[in-house]
A and B are shown apart, each in its own frame.
Chain A
Amino acid sequence: MKQQTIGALINEYPFIIDFFQQNRLDVSGHENTTFAAFLAKLGEEELEDKAIDIQNLPGELESYITQMSDFLGIEKTNVVQSLIILPGQDKNGQAEDFEQLEIFPSQIVSIVGPTGSGKSRLLADIEWAAQGDTPTGRSIRINRSVPDSKWRYSPNNKLVAQLSQNMNFVMDISAGEFVKLHAESRMVQNPDEIAKEILESANRLAGEPFSSDTAVTNLSGGQSRALMIADTAILSSSPIVLIDEIENAGIDRRKALELLVSQDKIVLMATHDPLLALMADRRIVIRNGGIHAVLQTTPEEKDLLTDLDKIDAVMQNARQMLRMGDTLRREEIFA
């Protein structure tokens, strides 16, 4: 790598253009020299002015190339086929009473329990791929073995994507540009197509449609949640999606979860919402910091879910009619 010219490197690893840009190095016109030779030619003044560290940069470029090449190869090798949670102890040091909990791709598991009981802590144990080294003493296995440390430390190999409670955007760009920017940072081959797919999916989840030109800062709560969920499902490199008490008004919850699992994600969600909790196949009951029980959603519960869905539809109807300035009438709301 050290002998190759900058031009040859760019040819082989087009992504390093980004490295040069982010490090404020203008290599244009120097394609025929090596990186070290390029750095050697920079004058004292330029080095000091631009805070360039010639000693370390060549090594950093190498790390960057290795890291990115790894990352680009990831999709194939980083499949998570199984996630296992091994027991630890609750807040009183009492051992958790289950053998192991194994979750496979496309499965949804909900996590329920009072505030402060340890739902977020469980999600954090998974995110950190805990090895008995968190306050709960739990351990995580990926593909039935001790997880590779890359899951913890490498910025591009995050095990977990998290849908946050708040879904504000700070960037002031259009929805289309936003998704494209994300696609580009993930180095996908066809950012335009992916962006289109994400926007279409998002529109299927959102109550009110929006276009790719809508500024992200102008999206309604429901629309931005829809966009985020579609983006995470389709574009996030992480095989596990955590949902920590997501505010879910304005989106089609069922379709949102279906979209996530259709991408072979493992979905875990801490929630107090019965509709979400019952959509899961299993639910973890947390009490006093420990996993108290793992319940299978019963046929009766699944059946109940249909009724709860209807009640929810009634509420949504009423909300919609109020919004439109209508007077509420029984027969229309319960239609």
Chain B
Amino acid sequence: MNLTIVSGPPSSGKTSIILKTIDAFQRRGLSVGVVKFDCLHTDDDLRYKKAGIPVKKGLSGALCPDHFFASNIEDVVEWGKREGLNLLITESAGLCNRCSPYLMGIKGICVIDNLSGINTPKKIGPMLKSADIVVITKGDIVSQAEREVFASRVSTVNPRAMVLHVNGLSGQGAYELSTLLYDETQNLESVQGMKLRFPMPSAMCSYCLGETRIGESFQLGNTKKMVWEEDET
């Protein structure tokens, strides 16, 4: 089995491009399954099911979805093997700009869209910076110039990544993407012992632990304050 980890900001087009890419695999007779990680709610599983794709979902609830991912990926891989998949794709809603789900040695894809604004690549951190492939979507609704500016910002943040333009609606570029995701010679038995590409922050503050009251005396553990500099005029 092959494994690919897909992440990216909300509504960037992850499900759309995964569906189009799986189309290309199905025509080659390969079986692909998906596991969707999200925080509070997702209907993505229904979209995959409708397309006849084996799917599972995991909701992290109170936890950062990427932390939740790291604690569950082993079982997810076991499921994929039980299902007899050729390729297992995980889709994570990149809700935390500080974390990323990529593992060393496993293909990591960041999906980001042209509409998110040219300062987005700078903002989203490890999710973009440590991906192997960056897929840029929604090129159909912006100009060629904006696509070029956006792509150049992306590769400034992540110069090593391969940058691909894929249209989540028409599927243009999805076939091409599919050729990068499956390697016949790769056979993943387990992810046990693999390492995250980027360490997740370990900090916990009192609010993480259920505190609801506001005020200095309730703040324990790792708290951080904004710096208030007086304007020098």
Contacts and interface: CB of A to CB of B under 8 A. Distances in A.
A158 B158 CA distance: 17
**Interface SS of B by simple majority:** helix
Interface stretch (B46-54, B82-90, B122-130, B208-216): B122-130
A322 to B, nearest CB: 29
Given A22-B121, A155-B163, A185-B153, A169 B143 contact: yes
A236 B146 CA distance: 11
Contacts of B122: 21-24
B156 A19 contact: yes
Most buried by A among B27, B130, B141, B179: B141
Interface in A49-88: 51, 53, 56, 59-60, 63-64, 67
B201 A48 contact: yes
A257 interface: no
B175 interface: yes
Most buried by A among B146, B170, B175: B146
A178 B106 CA distance: 38
Interface residues on A, range: 35 or more
A23 B201 CA distance: 18
B145 A178 contact: yes
Interface string A157-169: 0100111111111
Contact of B198 (A51, A128, A155, A237): A51
Most buried by A among B27, B117, B172: B172
B71 interface: no
Interface string B55-85: 0000000000000000000000000000000
Contact of B141 (A56, A166, A232): A166
A155 B143 contact: no
B115 interface: yes
Nearest to B150: A185
B114 interface: yes
Contact of B143 (A22, A60, A224): A224
Given A164-B140, A228-B144, A153 B155 contact: no
B140 A165 contact: yes
B114 A170 contact: yes
Contacts of B126: 51, 53
7 contacts: A124-B175, A156-B155, A164-B141, A165-B140, A166-B140, A168-B141, A178-B145
Given A21-B122, A51-B198, A53-B198, A155 B144 contact: no
B175 A63 contact: no
A18 B159 CA distance: 12
Interface of A: 18-19, 21-24, 48, 51, 53, 56, 59-60, 63-64, 67, 120, 124, 128, 133-135, 152-153, 155-156, 158, 161-171, 178-179, 181-182, 185-186, 224, 227-228, 231-232, 235-237
Nearest to B100: A51
Interface string B182-212: 0000000000000000100101000000000
Contacts, number: 120
A231 B198 contact: no
B226 interface: no
Given A51-B198, A135-B175, A153 B149 contact: no
Given A51-B98, A51-B125, A185-B148, A153 B162 contact: yes
Contact of A164 (B115, B144, B198): B144
A125 B61 CA distance: 43
Contact of B155 (A67, A135, A163, A167): A67
A100 B118 CA distance: 41
A186 B148 contact: yes
A182 B148 contact: yes
Contact of A179 (B142, B145, B159): B145
B157 interface: yes
Contacts of A231: 143-145
A164 B155 CA distance: 22
Interface in B132-174: 139-146, 148-149, 151-163, 170, 172-173
A53 B154 contact: no
Contact of A60 (B149, B151, B159): B159
